[in-house]
Structure 1
Amino acid sequence: MTGLISYNKNPNVGVVARVNDNTALVPSHCPRDFSNVLEKDLEVEVIKTNICGTSLIGAMTVMNNSGILLPKFVYKKEAEAIKKSDLNVGILEDKFTALGNLILANDKGAVVNKKFTKGSIRAIEDVMDLEAVKGEIAGFGTVGSLGITTNKGALVHPLAREDEIELIESALKTDVDIGTVNRGAGFVRTGILANTKNVLLGDLTTGPEITRIEEALGLL
């Protein structure tokens, strides 16, 4: 059942956490009630750690069921905490650090910012065990914040063009729909934590938005 949550009264829950089907990463000082909801509703093991000394885990990392990519400025102790999971942990030696905003990925494929080098794209593919293509959503390169995906479906910004949606569907090998979260926000990943089992949404999300998100992510 879809739940509505906030993080310290902030509905942008997808900025501070990252989940797959088995694991959730939350900030080191995450409130217990927040981590408990993720553990119960998404059926995941919770790991507490910061990334690059910040709580912006969703913005700084990208993860599927095979691996997780961390920015090059990640602290050693943070990477070690994540390595306790079964994930393949990779550190991307690239000038870009907000990886979660620039990469949209499930287990079947990824769409990445066009400014990534060939070397970075190969690293993304190796760590996450997938094929990646360059793309945009609504004309912007921040595909990881403008979209959210699991292996069962994807949701993207309502201004995404048809050709962009077709590319995303081909890359992720799943259906894609458009929608918003948190009462009209098109940067949908910022307000959504989802895996193939369930979805948690920022607590400003409206009823029609909930239905659209559930349909897009294959949870109805």
Structure 2
Amino acid sequence: MSSDNSNCDITPTRNYTSSNERDSWCLIRKITKENDLPHGDPWLISKQEFRMRKMYVWSEIEAVFRLQYGGSNEIGAFMRLTNSYCLIGGDPQKYEKVEGMIEGDIQWGSVVNTSLAGCEIVGRLCVGNKNGLLVPEMTYDTELQRLKEELPETVKISKIEDKLSALGNVVVCNDSVALIHPDLDRETEEVIADTLQVEVFRHMIANNPLVGSHCVFNYYGGLVNPDISQNELENLSSLLELSLVPGTVNQGNKLVGSGVICNDRLAYAGMKTTAREFTDIEKAFHLR
């Protein structure tokens, strides 16, 4: 497809990512010509600039985007995304651009750059939803205080004292239901139910107890390790009352929790995620 800028030497590239964003480009291109919006050819702008223009057309984003964090495609290890906040681990100055991009995308929630027990892998160490946040017992008091100051007042924060301290690997949830590692303590299960305000089920996925590594879901559906049997897939879908899609991320990685983060309106996947995997992710989370 040719650009309107006939004198431009730059080869136009389609910077949209999700399968239906081509229509967004066409509409934004038309609006840009007819209204007083940022000037330039939408076919030549960057992904981030495209997202900014897209805000003029839709009041809410509902899409999947590719993302790399600190050179890693395992974005689920460094981030925790919910319907009311997003936690990001790492040096605030080093990852300022990524943080700013996510702030622009989610608009409605808090983006907090923090560590947990001095570690950047906050996605693996914590789990949460719009109602609450669970952090490991080893979380520093200063980190806990920052979270209380930065997160919405409605978010309840609880420390978990359990030998299985990598909570992001052993718990997966949305705003109404959670799957947990079968060996988590009963007290831990009670704290999860109370803090996140969810119904809790002990379960494994494809014979693996690390449910947070092998499954990701939002209110509408989820992505699971493709090794799951058809019978287990149907039983788990019935248990959660969600449509589940087997799939991978980052060119065949079955640990979907390491490469995808999502909420009910938005998802990010690692940069290596293929077009076929992208289609499965959009289908899984019911995002366009």
- Give TM class, smaller chain: over 0.9
For residue 162 of structure 1, report the CA deviation from its aligned partner. Answer: 3.3
Higher relative contact order (CA 8 A, sep 6+): 1
Q: Write the deviation string for residues 59-100 of structure 1: whole angstroms up to 9, x where unpaired.
A: 000111111110110111111111121211011111111000
Taking the aligned partners of 1:142 and 1:136, their CA distance within structure 2 comes to 7
Give the aligned CA root-mean-square deviation in angstroms.
1.4
Taking the aligned partners of 2:64 and 2:185, their CA distance within structure 1 comes to 38
The alignment partner of 2:176 has SS state of coil
For residue 185 of structure 1, report the CA deviation from its aligned partner. Answer: 0.5
For residue 33 of structure 1, report the CA deviation from its aligned partner. Answer: 1.4
Give the match for residue 41 of structure 1: 105
1:1-220 equivalence runs, <5 A: 1-30=63-92, 31-43=95-107, 44-84=109-149, 85-86=151-152, 87-220=155-288
The alignment partner of 1:83 has SS state of helix
Taking the aligned partners of 2:244 and 2:114, their CA distance within structure 1 comes to 31
CA contact (8 A) 2:84 2:129 kept: no
CA contact (8 A) 1:108 1:171 kept: no
Q: TM-score, normalised by structure 2?
A: 0.73
Amino acid at match of 1:34: V
CA contact (8 A) 2:87 2:113 kept: yes
Taking the aligned partners of 2:117 and 2:260, their CA distance within structure 1 comes to 22
The alignment partner of 2:76 has SS state of helix
Q: TM-score, normalised by structure 1?
A: 0.95
* Shift in CA distance, 80/172, structure 1 to aligned 2, threshold 3 Å: farther
Taking the aligned partners of 1:190 and 1:39, their CA distance within structure 2 comes to 21
Instruction: Report the number of matched residues.
Output: 220
Q: Aligned residues: percent identity?
A: 28
Consecutive unaligned residues in structure 1, runs of 5 or more: none
CA contact (8 A) 1:105 1:172 kept: no
Taking the aligned partners of 2:267 and 2:198, their CA distance within structure 1 comes to 23
Consecutive unaligned residues in structure 2, runs of 5 or more: 1-62
Amino acid at match of 1:91: K
